[in-house]
Structure formats: C-alpha cells, structure tokens
Amino acid sequence: MFLSLPSSSSFLLFTCLFLLSIFTQPALCSAQLLPNSSTSGHTRRRLLLHRQLSVDYYSKSCPDVERLVGAVTSQQFKLTPVSAPATINLFFHDCFVEGCDASILVASKGGGKAEREAEQNRELREEGFEIVRKAKELVESKCPGVVSCADILAIAARDFVHLEGGPYYQVKKGRWDGKISMASRVGNNLPHANSTVDQLIKLFASKGLTLEDMVALSGAHTIGFAHCNHFVARLYKPDPNMDPKLTHALRTYCPSYGGSDVAVPFDATTPFLFDNAYYGNLQKKMGLLASDQALYSDPRTKPVVEAMAKNKQKFFQAFASAMERMSLVGVKRGKNHGEKRRDCSIHGSL
C-alpha cells in the first residue's frame, strides 16, 4: 500500500520543483464491514487479542519502553525526512504478511529468501529497518530480552504518524516475534499500484478489516513517495481519471519506459504533512496511483473518501482506529507461536 521513497539527500529539492510544475503558487515545501464469510472469526480473534494485549503490558518489566523508542524516532525524524513514511510503510508490509510479528525485519540466511527479499518488498527503505534496529538496541540496553521487535515497530510507526502531524493513539503491546519469514509467502498479501477496488476489498477483508479501515489506511499516502514505474502506464495512454496538469507534470520526470530511479510525492499539495489532503486530491483526479484514484470512482468507497476529505478529524479518528485494528492482524503470543529476538534481523537471537 505504501510504496517507496527517494534518497533523503535530494528529495526536498526535487519535490519543490515537481510541485511548482503543477501549481502557479508553491505548495507546502502542507464501518461498514466488508462482505466476507470469515468476518465473525476475525472479530472473535480480535476481541481475544484485545484482552491479551494491553497498553501497559510492560509497566513492570520495561516501563520506559515508549520513551526509549520515542527518543530514537524523534531524533531520526529531525535527521531524515523519509523516516516517517519508511517506518509506517514497513509496519503495513509486516502486518499484511504473516501478521504484525516483525517477520519483515528478518534477514535472509543461507539459501532461503526472507520476506523482505520478495519482489513486493524490494523498495522498502533501509531507514525504516535502521530505526527499528536503533530503537531495539536502546531498549535492550535497559530491558534485555523483554520487548519484542514487533512491539517496537508498532510503537515507532505510531510515533511517526504523530510527528508528521497526524493523530496520537495508544499502542497495545504484548506481541511476540514470528518464527517464519519467507519471501514465497508474500504473494498477493500486499496491494498493488493498479489494484481494483474489488481486489482491495477482498484483500482487506481477508485481514478482518472494514471498508472504512481500507479507505482510512490508504490515507497514509498523505505522505511518502512512489517510483515512476508504479504509475507510468497512466501517463502515456492518458488516463481520463487523472488531471491533465498532473499528467503533464509527471511526464516531465517519468519517461515512457518507466524506471525506478525517480520518485514523486503521493500528495502533491501537502507532501510533508499528515493531513486529509490526500482525499481532496482524489476528488480533483490527482491520485497518483490507479488504486488510489479508484477509491473515488467506486460508489462503495466514494462516500467514505468524501467524508474524510470534508472532515480531517473524522479521518484522524478513522485512521487511528484502523491502525489499532491492523496492529492485531496475525499477532503471535507465547513461546509455542513466537519468539523474542535480541537482534530483529535474526531468528532465535535470544
């Protein structure tokens, strides 16, 4: 869902130039359940996890865990502008494959390819992995062998949403790290840039998420970037669902043969601010990806897009709720199902 980002050293200048090519004035440089037969099963599992996970899970074993993770996220936020979308994106990719169990963080070993080596994950930014590594090292220095990598990633993603101007929400904790990380299991568990609404509905329903969750989580594209190859097909056989000015501007940076060396912001109006402008852009046919713009074209999702475009607080509330529900997908509990890694990239690093 969340795609990739350019290098932090050059993307600020590029973004401003891109925005100026669209606008005469520079931009800021600013539940309904899905139809699914397994919904009741997902709901029962979520209620059970709500009881097993808790905001104060580490109140005795590592009471300062959120402060420790926050020390890293706040520092990295100041150092590199790609930290926020990189980490939020990483969390999404983790939760949708094997569940929120930090399996995305495991490095390949021997002949087997880990989850992060799958084609769909190759554009994940290294900054996201590095932030979790640094946070884990700091937490381990104070509370060795206590806090899971999965919980650290969940906390870090929340921190970056808030640092970018988005909502602050409580993170339930108590996840264990997964014991399985295989590239072959990624498959169709992640959305694509040209996914149809039907495909998105089926995918999100398989994770026990609602239609409003789906549209709200797509709103994370209020920050972040996508490489040309994810939308170039919309430019040279003009897509009637893309604003002509945006098409013209994108052609300047994205040659017809595609390529992955250039990236542009999802949100061409306020690319560095977590707000609801993404939805207003969809109303103006300024969605970068076909899968984004489809949310406004489809009568099932259009009313939700319109409601969130109209009311930022409604979006914030829906996004926070959706992140909490997503954070419960496939959670592992106990030694029979999970582990507590000392090194997030290595299985069994106890």
Residue 270 counted as an annotated binding residue: yes
Identify the helix (H) or strand (E) that includes residue 338. Answer: strand 338-339
| Beta bridge mates, 54 | 173
Between CA 93 and CA 107 the distance in angstroms is 15
Between CA 163 and CA 165 the distance in angstroms is 5
The CB density around residue 318, as the number of other CB atoms within 10 Å, is 23
Of 93, 227, 230, 347, catalytic: 93
Give the residue carrying structure tokens 């939020």. Answer: 88
The CB density around residue 218, as the number of other CB atoms within 10 Å, is 29
Residue 64 counted as an annotated binding residue: no
Residue 222 counted as an annotated binding residue: yes
Residue 103 counted as an annotated binding residue: yes
Between CA 166 and CA 1 the distance in angstroms is 18
Judge contact between 225 and 266, C-beta under 8 A: yes
Residue 10 counted as an annotated binding residue: no
Q: Which token pair is 102?
A: 């930090």
Between CA 269 and CA 289 the distance in angstroms is 15
The CB density around residue 334, as the number of other CB atoms within 10 Å, is 9
Residue 261 counted as an annotated binding residue: no
Residue 298 counted as an annotated binding residue: no
Quickly list DSSP for 124-166. --HHHHHHHHHHHHHHHHHSTTTS-HHHHHHHHHHHHHHHTT-
| Annotated catalytic residue 93 | yes
Between CA 334 and CA 312 the distance in angstroms is 39
Q: Which token pair is 134?
A: 């640094």
Residue 213 counted as an annotated binding residue: no
Residue 50 counted as an annotated binding residue: no
Residue 227 counted as an annotated binding residue: no
Residue 43 counted as an annotated binding residue: no
Q: Which token pair is 132?
A: 């979790």
Residue 337 counted as an annotated binding residue: no
Binding-site residues for Ca(2+): 94, 97, 99, 101, 103, 115, 222, 267, 270, 275
Binding-site residues for heme b: 221
Binding-site residues: 94, 97, 99, 101, 103, 115, 191, 221-222, 267, 270, 275
Which of the residues are catalytic? 93
